[in-house]
Amino acid sequence: MNQRVLVLNQDYGPLTVCSIQRAFLLIFLGKAELISGFDGQFLRTVTAKFPKPAVVRILNYISIPYKDVELSRQNVFKRDSYRCQYCGTSKDLTLDHVLPRSRKGRSSWTNLVTACKSCNARKGNALPEEIGLTLKSKPYKPSFILFLRDFSGFIQDEWRPFLNAKSA
């Protein structure tokens, strides 16, 4: 049971992702309703069977402040598809400050990129254009919805209508 469940707020806006066990408990306790189940898959007890939840909706609206994607090494790697933004390799990855810290560059979504150790050492204390390196894509800060949709690594087909995702 390592599948995940998309949890929607009362207004059908994406809220979070949780385990099937947690989603079933929310339904069982009357705190959520089943919106979509995994086709043909069930949770069974000795006397009953229940559809395995894929998408659930919380019954009482949860007011949350703007959800932000945490700036972390792993999230930058996810955003950059685990590829060096200079040469495209997926080996020996590290983070690189496009504007080096020694030149007042900050650790931010728009200044950090995934780079292999070789390209990072070659770039050193310079700007990419100063030594002939070009970025494969411009660094950006992902929104929470985009992060859930594109970078979570386990998007389910049943989630697509609620995440405005393109069909597979």
pLDDT tens string 116-139: 999 999 999 999 999 999 999 999
- Same domain? For 8 and 55 the reply is yes
How many structural domains comprise the chain? Answer: 2
- Same domain? For 123 and 150 the reply is no
Domain interval for residue 84: 73-131
| Predicted structure pTM score | 0.62
pLDDT at 84 over 70: yes
* DSSP result, 10-63: TTS-EEEEEEHHHHHHHHHTTSEEEEEEEEEEEEE-SS-EEEEEEEEEESS---
Contact 151, 79 (CB under 8 A): yes
In the prediction, which pLDDT does 4 show? 84
Half-sphere exposure of 5 (CA within 13 A, CB side): 28
Cα 74 from Cα 110, distance rounded (Å) = 15
Whether residue 17 lies inside any domain: the answer is: yes
pLDDT at 166 over 50: no
pLDDT at 45 over 70: yes
Is pLDDT larger for residue 133 or for residue 157?
133
pLDDT at 1 over 60: no
Whether residue 136 lies inside any domain: the answer is: no
In the prediction, which pLDDT does 60 show? 95
Whether residue 137 lies inside any domain: the answer is: no
Whether residue 139 lies inside any domain: the answer is: no
Can you say whether residue 103 is alpha, beta or left, with left for phi > 0 and alpha for psi between -120 and 50 degrees? alpha
Contact 135, 98 (CB under 8 A): yes
Contact 110, 139 (CB under 8 A): yes
Whether residue 168 lies inside any domain: the answer is: no
Supply 94's token pair: 């590290």
What value does the mean pLDDT of the chain take? 88
